[in-house]
Amino acid sequence: KEDLSITTLTKEDGLTEARIRLVRYHLPTETLVIVYESGVIDLLRDGRFITLRQIDNFNFNGDKTIYSLFFGNDNLVYISAGFGLTVLDLVEETFQFTTFTGVRVNASAETTSFIYLATNEGVYRAPRTGVNLNDFGNWRLLGPGVGLPGDYSSSAMEVFRDQVYFSVGLDVYKLEGGRAALAYKAEEGEYYIRYMSSGPEHLLVGYRCDDDDDIPCFDRQLITIDENGGVDRIQNCLFRTNYALEETSGRIWFAEREDIGGIGYLNGVDDAECTDLEFGGPRSDDNNRLLHDGTALWVAPGVLDPKFSAPLSFGGFDRFFEGTWTNYREEALYLFGRDGVLGGDDEVTTIVDIYYDRINDRHWVSSYYEGSLALDFANQSGELFDETNSTLSEAIGEIESRIRSVGAVTDPQGFVYVANRGAKSREFVQVRSPEGDWAALGADCGENQALDIALDQSGFIWVIHADNPGGGITVIDHAGTPMDASDDRCRTFTSSNSNLPTNIVRSIAVDLDGVVWIGTAEGIVLFECLSDVFNTERCLGRRPVAEAEDGNAFLLGTEEILSITVDGGDRKWISTGGGAYLLSPNGEEQLLFFDAGNSPLLDDVVRDIAIDPNTGTVYFGTESGIISYRAVATQAGRTFREDLTIFPNPVEPGYAGPIAIDGLIRDARIKITDISGKLINEGTATGGQYIWDGADYNGRRVQSGVYLIFASSNVRFSGADPESAVGKIVFIK
């Protein structure tokens, strides 16, 4: 609070989970209480995490969501939840009692004499002592007898100046002498009371629009009530605020929903200027596909639901470049090909894919509702392609001008192929020539759905037809004439004419040997046909077999394969709804498996994976955000880099980590010797990188000195001599 500097806590620091619902600080015990969506609670005290799983482990199928916390006397925390009320002793780290109410408890409060519950049925009260608080029959519903309506709901509650305040519909009441008195009468509006927060000078009452209302809402407000009953209204800075609090200086902090804003503050109730704090990260946790173009990480946040539809999302897309996150929205008109006018049905919303066209140096950004953007970041310009200036077709069943673009790919000649989902014309691939002309492909293939697109080493176009119940995958051969569809041929693979186990296809990747990997809702299928893909007898696909405890089984045959990413060593990173796998180049060996239980992975649902080809860093796009992992495989060049990159070098005293040798040719053979030529270590590079642990053959750390690296390959390129490279490492102990 002094200088507004920011520190972070992550799963690597000790957080149990990633989906945090509530955070509150208990000053008397100096405890940070962290509540997760699951009901698990972390207590952070004296730099140590204590994890409480009792609520998550309750043996019943009801609502375990924790909706609010109230700090009472004797270091007790009153936990309001979907199942009722439970009370935690922060010092003993034990639960005192639990009341199963049969009605959701939105908030609770404690006074010297009573405990209060705010529920959808109204406010309940019970004496603090003298009754069995576990028995909900001992709780009394407050109604006309204390001046309250006979039928009402209460969503929030707080104690301010030793008086209980609570919501009655949109109004605020307080208890005085056992009677309910109106403290604030609200105007009618499209909002509800989200929270109450007690500060040193004011009670804060937060009104917020409906969670499911995606249209602009102008009824939001923050009401402040002082000890004399004076009321002020704050509306600036607020949109969909989750919580607010007042600190001793009078500064008011507020937290916005993640896709709307972030953390901000006002210097007081009379401050007209709000200050927003910037945090490093994408605009929201949402991510549909990730791309790393060798320079930056790109995030397309438009997530499709299980039926492959998506809500309108105006969050644009994100880029992570040189340690800084930037969000691009339609306000950046110069990039979005706009003339300065926003609004209407032609807004570029719900970005579902980003592809880097290396041939033409353009980023193709796919909008699920408004076509494709070709962006030139070097010149800060862009062009939007839709039904007015391309062959992109409007979607069946949508209002006019809605075009579903879901992916793009470029061939070596610079032709760009765009996947056009649900096209009215039934041409689900649109192609743009290097000269800027457009043509449509796929009209005679019998499909019009598309989810993703890829290009194999023979120049064939592969398009996924993901829908319900699924449409398989189609291959198009444009016969060397991308702009002329008259000589095209196509073949659609389904479970009835190939080895696809299901028609629901979710992902596709082409590996370094030209094998097409297909991810389905029931595992992986390999098409190793290369140029023979249209041979209906020989090219049926193969389901790889992996060793299982009970014998052979199809590779990940029970998993829905959400994405497949090939690294520089031709290994396959697989994302699923149950974690992420790393497979050997042929898929027969599982090298790694990450989930939220055995790693800092933020969530078991991994939607996509991207890899930095230069460093080997792997980015996992999960349902709870993005996290990275430093892997060993970098993209290999066709020749050795003139100067190998060795890090760290020199190896300083005390360093016991791995040493990376980068800039290698694919599958290079590495030998490491001492200065006299004695062999110390040898092995094969993974992609363009070799990792050495700094030990000799006997597992002993090497001594101080200079060590030589000899890298060689038996592969010849275009008649060139066998490639080789040398380097050296200095150890200091």
Contact 724, 712 (CB under 8 A): yes
Amino acid at residue number 209: C
Amino acid at residue number 41: I
The C-alpha atoms of residue 577 and residue 560 are separated, in whole angstroms, by 7
pLDDT number for residue 290: 98
Of the ranges 84-93, 331-340, 692-701, 703-712, the best mean pLDDT one: 84-93
Q: Residues 476-499, buried b or exposed e (16+ Cβ, 10 A)?
A: bbbeeebeebeebebbbbbbeebe
Q: Output the six-digit token pair for 231.
A: 């009321």
Q: Residues 616-643, buried b or exposed e (16+ Cβ, 10 A)?
A: bbbbbbbbbbbbbbebbbbbbeeebeee
Whether the pLDDT of residue 118 is over 90: the answer is: yes
Tokens 């750390």 correspond to 701
Whether the pLDDT of residue 635 is over 80: the answer is: no
pLDDT in tens, 173-229: 999 988 999 999 998 877 889 999 999 999 999 998 765 545 556 667 899 999 999
Q: Residues 660-672, buried b or exposed e (16+ Cβ, 10 A)?
A: bbbbbbbbbbbeb
Backbone angles phi, psi at 443, to 5 degrees: -65, -30
Q: Output the six-digit token pair for 472.
A: 């398989």
Q: CA angle at residue 427 from 426 to 428, to 5 degrees?
A: 100
**Residue 238 per-residue DSSP state:** -
* Cα dihedral 678, 680, 682, 685 in deg (nearest 10): -120
- Rounded to whole angstroms, what are the CA distances from 122 to 79, 163, 189, 485? 17, 18, 21, 67
Backbone angles phi, psi at 97, to 5 degrees: -160, 165
Q: Report the number of secondary-structure helices (H) and strands (E) in the chain.
A: 0, 59
The C-alpha atoms of residue 366 and residue 99 are separated, in whole angstroms, by 51
Q: Output the six-digit token pair for 570.
A: 């031709």
Give the confidence band of 546 by pLDDT, cuts at 50, 70, 90. confident
The C-alpha atoms of residue 205 and residue 155 are separated, in whole angstroms, by 11
Mode of pairing for the β-strands spanning 590-594 and 606-611: unpaired
**Residue 665 per-residue DSSP state:** B
pLDDT in tens, 391-435: 999 998 887 788 999 999 999 999 999 999 999 989 999 999 999
Return the SS3 of 11.
helix
Contact 713, 723 (CB under 8 A): yes
Residue from 579, 578, 462, 479 nearest 525 by CA: 462
Chain-centroid distance of CA 703 in Å reads 45
Q: Output the six-digit token pair for 666.
A: 């694919």
Q: Output the six-digit token pair for 166.
A: 């609570």
Tokens 């989906």 correspond to 19
Residue from 163, 237, 150 nearest 196 by CA: 163
pLDDT number for residue 719: 40
- Rounded to whole angstroms, what are the CA distances from 544 to 502, 512, 528? 15, 17, 11
Residue from 596, 545, 561, 349 nearest 473 by CA: 561
Contact 208, 198 (CB under 8 A): no
Backbone angles phi, psi at 149, to 5 degrees: -65, 165
pLDDT in tens, 456-477: 999 999 999 977 778 999 999 9
Average pLDDT, the chain: 90
The C-alpha atoms of residue 699 and residue 693 are separated, in whole angstroms, by 9
Q: What contacts 434, CB < 8 A, 6 or more positions away?
A: 359, 360, 413, 414, 415
Q: CA angle at residue 413 from 407 to 418, to 5 degrees?
A: 15
Taking the alpha carbons at both ends of the chain, their separation in whole angstroms is 44
Contact 398, 386 (CB under 8 A): no
Tokens 């969501």 correspond to 65
pLDDT number for residue 212: 55
pLDDT number for residue 717: 37
Mode of pairing for the β-strands spanning 572-576 and 579-583: antiparallel
Strand order in the sheet with 381-385: 351-357, 362-367, 371-376, 381-385
Q: CA angle at residue 380 from 376 to 386, to 5 degrees?
A: 55
Q: Output the six-digit token pair for 293.
A: 């173009």
Beta bridge partners of 687: 634
Q: CA angle at residue 722 from 719 to 725, to 5 degrees?
A: 135
Whether the pLDDT of residue 721 is over 50: the answer is: no
Residue from 516, 498, 497, 500 nearest 508 by CA: 516
| 86 compared with 732, residue with greater pLDDT | 86
pLDDT in tens, 248-273: 999 999 888 665 567 889 999 888 88
pLDDT in tens, 476-529: 999 999 999 999 999 999 999 999 999 999 999 999 999 999 999 999 999 999
pLDDT in tens, 555-608: 898 899 999 999 988 999 999 999 999 999 998 888 899 999 899 999 999 999
pLDDT number for residue 219: 67
Tokens 């039928």 correspond to 151
Amino acid at residue number 78: Y
Beta bridge partners of 231: 225
**Residue 693 per-residue DSSP state:** -
pLDDT in tens, 288-319: 999 999 999 999 999 998 888 888 888 899 99
What whole-number percentage of the chain has pLDDT above 90? 65
- Rounded to whole angstroms, what are the CA distances from 499 to 30, 474, 502, 522, 536? 60, 14, 9, 12, 12
The C-alpha atoms of residue 10 and residue 237 are separated, in whole angstroms, by 28
